[in-house]
Structure 1
Amino acid sequence: SFGGNQLNISGFVLLGLSSSPEFQGPLFCVFLLMYLLSFLGNILIFFLIFSSSRLFYSPMYFFLSHLSLADLGFSSTTLPKMLQNLVSRSNTISYSGCLTQMYFLMMFGTTDNFLLASMAYDRYVAICHPLHYVSIMSYKCCLILASAAWLLSHIQSLLYVLLFADFSFCASREIPHFFCDLHPLLKLSCSDISSVEMLLVTEGTATLLGPLLFIFFSYTFIVFKVLKIPSTSGKYRAFSTCSSHLTTVAFFYGTLIGTNICPSSTYAGSRLKVASIFYSVVTPMLNPVIYSLRNREIHGAMKKFLQVCFQKG
């Protein structure tokens, strides 16, 4: 067991992005800026939606508030520890800390996955069944979908962490990554990992590709419906309501698929790090920008918020 191995009791060593001292300072500045932008952007989106009953009870913005919360948790699980390691000489992380980080990473990532599918369903109902939109996408329905996203992601993450709790790590304890990811940990274990490998190929792939296929089919129906709209301006308006969501889907799944459905033995350190930076750092940072850049409702909520602040000042 893990507790019986003296080497493993000291935890793991996160090798990070670079071992060169001259890169530590610049990397710290870059990722601190990215974390602050991600943190402030997602907090702002969540606050603006939560403070406006008109936005909060609108299905699209209701799901967006949950997506912002999940993105905030996603980046906060990895970046603070990475920033600490960049400015300290110790890159160690305890075994319990490693499993905790892995749990929250999987939970927030999977929640993002399910929420993006829920948002695709919302767009499908809005465009393909506009007359029944209010009755189908009721607040109760949105609450059930969001709650299911959080609950299912919690169950999945807990399942993997419980399986890892019985593993032994009797070789190197160096993780060639900047956080405790599933695949690098599997490569360090000297236990029989076939059960987790099989679970990744079956349940892991289904959890990842299931929502993605749902999004794909939702947008297939949306495209066919939009193409039937006679006016060009009508088509543009319909597609513009989906553009933000599609951009987020492309960023999120483009990197996540490549790092989750292949066997852990095929993972190269540099490739895994680059892909991980995109889905765990860049995407949570860009989502607030993507959803607020051309969004009149968010702009309106921001103006009201600033007016209240100035009036109080």
Structure 2
Amino acid sequence: MEKWNQTSSDFILLGLFPPNRTGLLLLLLISFIFFLASLGNSTMIHLIRVDPRLHTPMYILLSQLSLMDLMYISTTVPKMMFNYFSGQKGISFLGCGFQSFFFLTMAGAEGLLLSSMAYDRYVAICHPLHYPIRMSKRVCVNMIIGSWILGSTNSLAHTFYVLHIPYCRSRVIDHFFCDVPAMLPLACMDTWVYEYLVFVSTSLFLLVPFLGVTASYGRVLFVVYHMRSKEGRKKAFTTCSTHLTVVTFYYAPFVYTYLRPRNLRTPQEDKNLAVFYTILTPMLNPIIYSLRNKEVLGAMTRVFPIFSSKKK
């Protein structure tokens, strides 16, 4: 191992599961989740693209969420599956950089996009008369572009740093993908300044949006509670609870992982928490938004006639 460390610039990923029968069963479960997430998010993107009734800011933002989730889970799971089944654990220096870049881009962009979706519902429910102006298609597109640009810019800075710090210890990463906090302990320099920047970045891209989303839905629920129409109240409450479920599954484990000091974290705990925001959330998003949304279910019957025939 020492010889490999001195002659290679590649990294080794220890993975998520042990190479035994239990690990194999768990990986097969992850593979099935990956299939569901890919199918569900691809279907959502297709439905919103081809059905004119879904060409509204709410669903345009939702299609971007599905695209980010699709890229999100594709960044980590395929490599983990390949390494497990092939018996290999290596990842090239460049491959680790690309994986880190795309993962951080999706993490930051999705955090901002979820706050945009919360703002969309806030305006729709609390200021319905101003909705066409405050959430025009131009505003919606600007929100999407801003999320991608800010997410990728932040990611590029972190990836550039983590690939240029000297690694004089083992290049074994105790994780199932190239996660920046898991790579910092391998550095042979003091990284406390960078860890502080990670704290600031996490606060700006995750904690602040999370607090904003919570405040928005708090106001929305207050307005919903005082609605006179029972049908409108039920629909609005369903929408809010759906969004809050997604937000909780995404933000909570992410913020808890990245805002804790290094001495309070363990590699196994970090890996377990990462499963929520890298694997489970991309699968749950399309399921939650489709099963609890009449417009999406209606689009499925229009776009896929097989569902319409079964309904009849």
Shift of 1:21: 2.9
How high is the TM-score relative to the length of structure 1?
0.92
Q: Distance in 2 between matches of 1:283 and 1:295?
A: 18
- Counterpart residue number, 2:16: 17
Q: Which amino acid aligns with 1:96?
A: L
Instruction: State the Cα RMSD in Å.
Output: 2.0
Specify which of 257, 260, 285 is matched with residue 258 of structure 2.
Answer: 260
Shift of 1:188: 1.0
Specify which of 266, 271, 274 is matched with residue 269 of structure 2.
Answer: 271
Q: Distance in 1 between matches of 2:23 and 2:216?
A: 44
- Counterpart residue number, 2:246: 248
Shift of 1:234: 3.6
- Counterpart residue number, 1:59: 57
- Counterpart residue number, 2:221: 223
1:117-136 equivalent positions in 2, closer than 5 A? 117-136=115-134
**Greater displacement, 301-310 / 11-20:** 301-310
Instruction: Kindly indicate whether residue 79 of structure 2 is the aligned counterpart of residue 81 of structure 1.
Output: yes
Specify which of 97, 102, 105 is matched with residue 104 of structure 1.
Answer: 102
Return 5+ residue gaps in structure 2 as ranges: none
Instruction: Kindly indicate whether residue 29 of structure 2 is the aligned counterpart of residue 30 of structure 1.
Output: yes
1:127-157 CA-partner distances (Å, limit 9, x unpaired): 1101111122110000000110010000000
Secondary structure at the aligned position of 1:165 is classed as helix
Structure 2 vs 1, CA of residues 99 and 223 (structure 1 numbering), >3 Å: closer, same or farther? same
Instruction: Kindly indicate whether residue 153 of structure 2 is the aligned counterpart of residue 155 of structure 1.
Output: yes
Secondary structure at the aligned position of 2:164 is classed as coil
Q: Distance in 1 between matches of 2:261 and 2:168?
A: 21
Give the number of aligned pairs: 306
Q: Percent identity?
A: 40
Which 4+ runs in 1 deviate beyond 3 A? Answer: 230-234, 308-311
Q: Distance in 2 between matches of 1:25 and 1:271?
A: 20
Return 5+ residue gaps in structure 1 as ranges: none
Secondary structure at the aligned position of 2:304 is classed as helix
1:200-243 CA-partner distances (Å, limit 9, x unpaired): 12232222111111112211221222232235444222212222
Q: Distance in 1 between matches of 2:263 and 2:255?
A: 16
- Counterpart residue number, 1:194: 192
Specify which of 289, 304, 307 is matched with residue 306 of structure 1.
Answer: 304
1:77-125 CA-partner distances (Å, limit 9, x unpaired): 0000000011012100111111211111111111110111000000100
How high is the TM-score relative to the length of structure 2?
0.93
Secondary structure at the aligned position of 1:110 is classed as helix
Shift of 1:276: 0.4
Contact 2:162 2:180 in 1 (8 A): no
Q: Distance in 1 between matches of 2:260 and 2:151?
A: 20
Secondary structure at the aligned position of 1:30 is classed as helix
Q: Distance in 1 between matches of 2:121 and 2:308?
A: 36
Shift of 1:6: 6.0
Shift of 1:310: 10
Q: Which amino acid aligns with 2:47?
A: L
Specify which of 197, 203, 206 is matched with residue 205 of structure 1.
Answer: 203
